[in-house]
Amino acid sequence: MKKGILAAAIIFLSIFSCKEAENPVSANWELSGKIVYSTWDTELQKSWIYVLDLSTPNPVPKLLVDGADDPVVSPDGRVVAFSKISPAGSRDVYRINVDGSDMVNLSNRSWVMETQPNWSPDGNWIVFAGDYPPYERLYIMDRDGKNIQPITDTSYYASAPSWGLPGLSPVGRNAIAFLYRPFATSDVNKRRLRLISPEGSLMVDLDQMPGGPASWSPDSRFILYDKLLDNAAGYGYWVMQVSTLVCFPLNTDSLEFGVSIPRWASDGSLFAIGRVRGSSDYGLYKITLGSQGVASIQKILGGLFWSVIVVSPDDRYIGIFGRAQEGGGVSLYVYDTRNSSLTKVSELSRGTAPWHMDSYRVYWIR
């Protein structure tokens, strides 16, 4: 749920070492799939969920849900779960088909604030955060909203759940990452990134001072998350190997990644916006991971700043939401990794671009 945070400006300055096509030609159009994302208006204090269909040139965002937060696409790419204030006044977890049909209120509990849904890997269950204020704990329910069960208690705050694939985690073959904060204090030093089993019987600490939701790699070997830096100079992105609990930063002595959340590719590498320390030139990088840390970093593009990115399902394309100049409108650009070309795909009107603070909730689906 939005807290009225001012959205950071998205500036797209200049792109080097690539070819830009301002007006795509229909005969050469190769993009496919859809991008699902949320946006936020700081003046109206309101959010929306949009779908951008890439099957035709110059696509226009289609409104999927009005006044909705926290979209998350099901594993099969057909259904979006989200949170929304119900007619009764409570904030509930809903679902809707990507084509806009069959919207259903799943949780529908009076006076309960329910947010941040996340699908199980098989698409049969949904985990979410919520409770009677001021409490906040985690629940799971089936995809139809039945069998709602708490998996944490009210002795602490639990939020931002993220469900990983079956793997070799310390809590068994299924694990849910979430943010933990003691109920009696707001001290950031007491915050933890934790894993919990879906039935709530096993729980372990992963790291301290996390800043936002965790993101699992496609094979669930790694977890990406941001945490407060030791010098309190802001947040930086870290990666943890789940089986060993070994964690390491993406930042290096010369490069820093902390502007927009990195995105996983299907091969387990990351695409991220970063910059040389002390420089104002942000670029798009590909980061390859090893068991003990970052194995390699390759710069793909230069001239980016505060861009929201998303990776196509086949890893061929990188979608980049940004501005051509400061104060201008936001557009979607698509970078083709095979031929290093950049295409301006769509100009977005005010309020129809992804909200930067929700950049991890942007999905490119088939």
Q: What is the pLDDT of residue 190?
A: 83
State which residues form the domain around 272: 1-30+260-366
pTM for the model: 0.88
Euclidean distance between the first and final Cα of the chain, in Å? 27
Q: In the block, which residue shows the tokens 């407060």?
A: 228
Tell me the pLDDT tens digit for each residue of 336-345: 999 998 889 9
Q: Is residue 24 part of a domain?
A: yes
pLDDT beyond 60 at 181: yes
Q: Is residue 179 part of a domain?
A: no
Amino acid (one-letter) located at 23: N
172, β-bridge pairs: 169
Q: What is the pLDDT of residue 280?
A: 79
Q: Which of 39-43, 98-102, 191-195, 287-291 has the highest mean pLDDT?
A: 98-102
Q: Is residue 103 part of a domain?
A: no
Instruction: Find the largest Cα–Cα distance for the chain.
Output: 61
Q: Is residue 59 part of a domain?
A: no
Q: Is residue 2 part of a domain?
A: yes
Band the pLDDT of 191: cuts 50, 70, 90.
Answer: confident
Report the 10 Å Cβ neighbour count for 41.
14
Q: In the block, which residue shows the tokens 């269950």?
A: 125
Q: Is residue 74 part of a domain?
A: no
ω before 134 within 30° of 0 (cis)? yes
The Cα 336–Cα 193 span in angstroms is 35
Whole-number CA gyration radius for the chain:
20
Which is it for strands 270-276 and 255-256: parallel, antiparallel or unpaired?
antiparallel
User: Token pair of 249, please?
Assistant: 């930063």
Assign residue 208 a region (left: φ > 0; alpha: ψ between -120 and 50; beta: otherwise): beta
Q: Is residue 356 part of a domain?
A: yes
User: Token pair of 149, please?
Assistant: 């069960």
Residue 226 CB-density burial (10 A; 0-12 exposed, 13-18 middle, 19+ buried): buried
Q: In the block, which residue shows the tokens 């990188």?
A: 318
- Are the C-beta atoms of 333 and 344 separated by less than 8 Å? yes
What is the residue-averaged pLDDT of the chain? 85
Tell me the pLDDT tens digit for each residue of 272-331: 988 898 887 788 999 999 878 899 999 998 876 667 899 999 999 999 988 766 556 788
pLDDT beyond 70 at 75: yes
Residue 37 CB-density burial (10 A; 0-12 exposed, 13-18 middle, 19+ buried): buried
Structural domains counted in the chain: 1
Q: What is the pLDDT of residue 27?
A: 45
Tell me the pLDDT tens digit for each residue of 115-153: 999 999 999 999 999 988 788 999 999 999 999 999 999
pLDDT beyond 70 at 21: no
Q: Is residue 357 part of a domain?
A: yes
Buried b vs exposed e over 320-338: b needs ≥16 C-beta within 10 Å? bbbbbeeeeebbbbbbbbe
pLDDT beyond 80 at 237: yes
Q: What is the pLDDT of residue 28?
A: 62
Q: What is the pLDDT of residue 328?
A: 64
pLDDT beyond 70 at 13: no
> Which secondary structure element, helix H or strand E, spans residue 174, and what is its range?
none
**250 DSSP 8-state letter:** S
Q: What is the pLDDT of residue 231?
A: 53
